[in-house]
Structure 1
């Protein structure tokens, strides 16, 4: 299901070419920079984010509820940029930082539970529907990057949706979340508290600079159906469990 695009193949060639004369850390830093610059070139506005320190967070907040998941600056919406020079400065000066991409400017993100995302991908592939970039976040959420509903000059043209998600409403959207104006998601590569593949944000289908993102409504039916099926499966499992699961 995971696709390795031309950019991924080029990146692996670049890493292999430098493997003889550089350290693993230098190669990893170069790969991180390449992925972030490719995201910026694809139109995803980036801003620096906190990163995990052990099972805590690099921010100064005691008992941070979302370690490694949030922007560093309260001005992240105006700070976010696709300018490669600025992104490169951040990447090189903050080698441990995660990055968020601000949604609702150039793109939106449809965010679903990982099992539902896998189900939807199978259906969309079978129907021949192009998904665009897809990321796996922490092993439990899947992120579908789409075109945005935009920020119209006339607010009467803005249509709200019950699925709209903002950082402070994440807990209210356990199923499908629609990240649009005023929201953000971590962009790969990013690290989360913990170890292994469950503690990273990584691309399943990488962005291709210059490619057109899919309209969100084209993916929405498959994603909502998959989320409903996932919720039914979870309810069935809970009903047959020998003890309460929550």
Structure 2
């Protein structure tokens, strides 16, 4: 309960930009607190690119997902929850964003923002424990991310439950509605800065227990069916590097 109270205070102090407003020292402290809270919740974190002007800090010309992808091809093995490691990365890369690797301790159900907000309202009205929820960007490109328990990584691959919703960074465009991030995928973790002043921030923080993804799936797919067809197909993210 102590952590939940402290995290709630951080969220009340966080502006919509997700990066803090006050002095640079206060913004850095708030950012560190938010990332450490995510790590404490068991979300494996890896260093990611950050916006540079209207582009990306990476060396890829015309990067299609600026500020939303890991900086290393070894991100899946580098991702971790050690607070000392995260602190070192923050000190050495003060502008960097972070991603969280899915399919290890959690999965993410990723939907267009209108569908996500509608589903979140419906689920909460029905008293369903939704768990952590983040929002990325704004306007037509916005997405809502529902953090759930993972289906796991069984030693016997025959026990793996294949699903056409499984989403990998290189196959995002195959799932313009609901994307299920599990093994081999990642999402930006709040607080993250995106180009043009956009951000990734928590709607419900990581102090909330992770729900079973199947308890959310019906509401999310129904919401996507109502909302996705109303807008032109959106560009997919993140893409592989």
Task: Compute the TM-score of the two structures, normalised by the length of structure 1.
Answer: 0.85
Residue among 160, 170, 182 paired with 2:162: 160
1:59 corresponds in structure 2 to 58
Give secondary structure in 2 for the equivalent of 1:100: strand
* Cross-structure match for 2:193: 191
Displacement of 1:8: 3.3
- How far did 1:12 drift? 6.8
Q: How far is the alpha carbon of 1:70 from its aligned partner?
A: 0.5
SS at 2:202 equivalent: strand
Equivalent pair of 2:100/2:187 in contact (CA under 8 Å)? yes
1:169 to 165, 168, 171: 171
CA separation in 2, counterparts of 1:130 and 1:224? Answer: 17
Aligned to 1:203: 202
Question: Please, which runs of 5 or more residues in structure 1 have no aligned partner?
Answer: 16-22, 236-246
Cα deviation code 1:160-194 (max 9, x no counterpart): 11111111111221100000000000000001111
- Between the aligned partners of 1:226 and 1:122, the Cα distance in structure 2 is 11
The whole-number CA distance in structure 2 between the counterparts of 1:165 and 1:9 is 31
Aligned counterparts, 1:1-246, within 5 A: 6-11=5-10, 24-139=23-138, 140-195=142-197, 199-208=198-207, 212-234=209-231
Larger radius of gyration: 1
3-state SS, counterpart of residue 195 of structure 2 = coil
Q: In the superposition, relative to structure 1, how do residues 147 and 12 fare at CA in structure 2: closer, same or farther (>3 Å)?
A: closer
1:61/1:10 CA distance change after superposition, 3 Å: same
Q: Please, what is the CA RMSD of the aligned residues? A: 1.7
Secondary structure of 2:39 counterpart = helix
Separation (CA, whole Å) in 1 of partners of 2:231 and 2:61: 34
Task: Give unmatched runs, 5+ long, in structure 2.
Answer: 15-21, 233-241
Q: Secondary structure at the match of 1:151?
A: coil
Q: TM-score, normalised by structure 2?
A: 0.87
- Report Cα offsets for 1:87-142 as digits up to 9, x if no partner: 11111211100000000000000000000001101110111001110000112100
Q: Would the aligned equivalents of 2:113 and 2:143 in 1 still touch at CA under 8 Å?
A: yes
1:20 aligned partner: none
Q: Deviations over 1:69-90 (max 9, x none)?
A: 1100100000000111101111
